[in-house]
Amino acid sequence: MKPGKKLFLLVLAELLIVFVGPQLITAFVESVGLNLLLRTMLVLLAIYLALEITVSFRPGNK
């Protein structure tokens, strides 16, 4: 996959996770404990994607 396309997809996924994910979890999950667990996993996934973007597109990284 081309680096530009990969960067676009990762940034798009990050934006969807940050802005759409919490609203979907709140709308469809009624249990407070499960809601908290899913939001925690969402935050960890967002951190992972941010680090992936940072490491993958660092200058000198091929």
Average pLDDT score over residue span 24-37: 94
What is the Cβ-side half-sphere exposure of residue 1, based on CA atoms within 13 angstroms?
Answer: 9
Write down the pLDDT at residue 41: 93
Contact 49, 13 (CB under 8 A): yes
Domain definitions of the chain by residue range:
12-56
Distances from the Cα of 56 to the Cαs of 5, 10, 11, 23, 30, in angstroms?
A: 12, 10, 12, 29, 37
When pLDDT is cut at 50, 70 and 90, the band that residue 62 belongs to is: low
Q: Tokens 């200058």 identify what position?
A: 59
Q: Is the per-residue pLDDT at 20 higher than 70?
A: yes
**What tens digit of pLDDT does each residue of 36-48 get?**
999 999 999 999 9
